[in-house]
Amino acid sequence: MKHPLNRRSFLKLGLLAAALPLPAFANRGRLMPERRLSFNNLHTGEKLDLPYWIEGDYVAESLAEINRVLRDHRADQIAAIDTGLLDLLHRVQTTLGTSQPFQVISGYRSPASNQMLAGHSSGVAKGSLHMQGKAIDIRLPGVALADLRRTGLMLKGGGVGYYPNSDFVHLDVGRVRTWGA
């Protein structure tokens, strides 16, 4: 005769279930040993392909290389790129199912470069997040610009600017907002 499930049996089953490994889909974050990004800086010709996060930690040497490649090429100034922006870019690539390098139009901008660009274009914000290493202007080979924009909007990681006439998408890790055609 089967015994009804009493409180003690229920608690034992709960403890047993808690001790079992989670399915792969539920444990996805820990199964990914690294996050890798690739960049092609269109202004300097520099290319970079490396893991920037390995087994739960950001890799200082990789971050330094990314900061160098995404520097303000006009002033040759390097600044720290926000790791949240790197994580957003990784999410974009993962969502789109591509490992193509991001073609970089603009990463970090010094205040002087940003002021100069703002003087020539109404599309450059005077308080741009580029000056804080929290924004990037990109395109992705093999991915339609509209799809890149749509992915940025879907991920809700920050601002998404759409510049089809200039052939790039702006992504940042500021507040969620959108602009452009």
Domains of the chain, by residue range, sit at 21-180
The mean pLDDT of 25-32, rounded to a whole number, is: 51
| pLDDT tens digits, one per residue of 94-150 | 999 999 999 999 999 999 998 888 777 767 777 789 999 999 999 999 999 999 999
Of 177, 3, 158, 33, nearest to 84 by C-alpha is 158
The mean pLDDT of 15-31, rounded to a whole number, is: 46
The mean pLDDT of 164-173, rounded to a whole number, is: 97
| Structure tokens given for 14 | 């709960």
pLDDT at 109: 95
Q: HSE (CB half, 13 Å, CA atoms) of 107?
A: 30
Q: Which amino acid is at 127?
A: G
pLDDT at 177: 96
Q: In the sheet where 102-106 sits, what is the strand order?
A: 57-58, 47-54, 34-41, 102-106, 135-139, 168-172, 159-163, 177-180
pLDDT at 6: 60
Distance, CA of 167 to CA of 139 (rounded, Å): 7
Distance, CA of 29 to CA of 33 (rounded, Å): 9
Neighbours of 55 (CB within 10 A): 10
pLDDT at 27: 43
Fold of the CATH domain 21-180: Muramoyl-pentapeptide Carboxypeptidase; domain 2 (3.30.1380)
Angstrom CA distances, 6 to 9, 14, 104, 132, stand at 5, 12, 62, 59
pLDDT at 121: 73
Of 85, 96, 81, nearest to 141 by C-alpha is 96
Distance, CA of 154 to CA of 69 (rounded, Å): 27
pLDDT surpassing 60 at residue 48? yes
Of 168, 134, 129, 165, nearest to 149 by C-alpha is 168
Give the percent of the chain with pLDDT over 90. 72
Q: Which residue has the higher pLDDT, 157 or 5?
A: 157
Which regions of the chain does DSSP assign to beta strands (E)?
A: 34-41, 47-54, 57-58, 102-106, 135-139, 159-163, 168-172, 177-180
